[in-house]
Structure 1
């Protein structure tokens, strides 16, 4: 089974996907109602908020990455977008994060920094790959492949270090 087969199967049942993705911001709304108003009561719910953030961000980040890949590398037209798979997870992520942000700051949510670091690393990798794709540099070299992989990882570490120093 390929990723295209999975997308075709999910696109065949958009109601199920809509219910699944709509349940996350709905749960965030309900947790906001139940968590109370004082800081002590809200902090008790931080692991529930963390779970909701991950449930919203994993499909949302995947959809953003998929959109970037399809538009930059595959040159997909915007008219051919699959709204259920390419837009709905992003809207779910934005809506859930908006609801959670109204109740609790993100620095109190465990693991939220790891998501932003992952997104930064993903953006750096996509940027490097896009740059390599656009320059159309093809080289025949006698450098072992392991040196190229080590250089790529070193470049990613430098980008991550520079990004953390900037922000």
Structure 2
């Protein structure tokens, strides 16, 4: 089964896809209602909020990355977008994060910093790959592949360090 097959199967069931993706912001809304107003009560629900953040952000980040890939590398037209697979997960992520942000700061949610670091890493990799694609740097070299991988990882670490210093 390829990724195209998975997307075709999900596109064939738009109601199921909508129900699955809308369940996450609905869950965030319900947790906001049930968690209470005091800081102690909200603090007890932080792991539930963490699960909701991950349930919203993993498909959302994947959809953003897929959109960037399709538009930059595959040159997909905006008219060919699959709204259920390319837009709805991003809207779900934004809605869920907005609902959760109203109730609890993101710094209190366990593991939220890892998501932002992961998104930075994905952005850096996509930027480097886009740069290589645009400059058409394809060279036959005698440098071992392991050195190229080490150089790529070092470049990512430098980008991540610089990103953390900037923000």
Task: Calculate the TM-score normalised by the size of structure 2.
Answer: 0.99
Aligned to 1:110, what secondary structure does the other structure show? coil
Q: Is 1:30 paired with 2:40? A: no
Q: Is 1:158 paired with 2:158? A: yes
Write the mapping of 1:45-64 to structure 2, written as runs, cut at 5 A: 45-64=45-64
Q: CA RMSD in A?
A: 0.5
Please give the alpha-carbon distance, in whole angstroms, between the structure 2 residues aligned to 1:8 and 1:140: 38
Question: What residue in structure 2 maps to residue 108 of structure 1?
Answer: 108
Runs (4+) of structure 1 exceeding 3 A deviation are none
Please give the alpha-carbon distance, in whole angstroms, between the structure 1 residues aligned to 2:79 and 2:63: 16
Aligned to 1:97, what secondary structure does the other structure show? helix
Question: What residue in structure 2 maps to residue 9 of structure 1?
Answer: 9
Stretches of structure 1 lacking an aligned partner (at least 5 in a row): none
Stretches of structure 2 lacking an aligned partner (at least 5 in a row): none
Task: Calculate the TM-score normalised by the size of structure 1.
Answer: 0.99
Aligned to 2:138, what secondary structure does the other structure show? coil
Aligned to 2:160, what secondary structure does the other structure show? helix
Question: What residue in structure 1 maps to residue 146 of structure 2?
Answer: 146
Aligned to 1:142, what secondary structure does the other structure show? coil
Aligned to 2:137, what secondary structure does the other structure show? coil
Pairs aligned (count): 167
Question: What residue in structure 2 maps to residue 132 of structure 1?
Answer: 132
Question: What residue in structure 2 maps to residue 74 of structure 1?
Answer: 74
Question: What residue in structure 2 maps to residue 96 of structure 1?
Answer: 96
